[in-house]
Amino acid sequence: MSLYRMQDGTVIDTTKSTNFWTEAEDWNGQNHISRNTGQQWTHQTLYRSRKGRYYVEHFSQYQGSKAHAEWVSPEEAVRWLALNGCAIPDELAHLTEEITD
């Protein structure tokens, strides 16, 4: 469980999300690299809140780093999902054509 205070003051609990998607990683011959961050040690997870809003949790394996979360637009959620090879939820499917090429 992770609790975060968002930019607008809302407090979210990741365990109360209605869905979440983990990032894809690519093997570079030595390490698994986050497709989102392009780094070995920093990662992201996309969540859908109980109220239907999307947010990204940013976290790192670097000692002393602090995880945080930020709201993302539905369009940004579709970009995130498409980049990671995830199925697009029905509620966002109408955005796919304008986001992908």
User: 21-32, pLDDT tens digit by residue?
Assistant: 999 999 999 999
DSSP code, position 24:
P
Has residue 21 been placed in a domain?
Answer: yes
Has residue 91 been placed in a domain?
Answer: no
- In terms of residue numbers, what domain contains 45? 3-72
DSSP code, position 83:
H
User: Is 90 exceeded by the pLDDT of residue 46?
Assistant: yes
The total number of structural domains that make up the chain: 1
**What's the rounded mean pLDDT across residues 15-41?**
95
How far out from the chain centre does Cα 33 lie?
A: 15
Instruction: Please give the pLDDT value at position 14.
Output: 96
Has residue 86 been placed in a domain?
Answer: no
Pick from 89, 17, 11, 86: which is nearest to 53 by CA? 17
Has residue 93 been placed in a domain?
Answer: no
72 beta partners: 54
Has residue 54 been placed in a domain?
Answer: yes
User: Whole-angstrom Cα distance, residue 68 to residue 42?
Assistant: 12
Pick from 51, 36, 49, 52: which is nearest to 90 by CA? 52
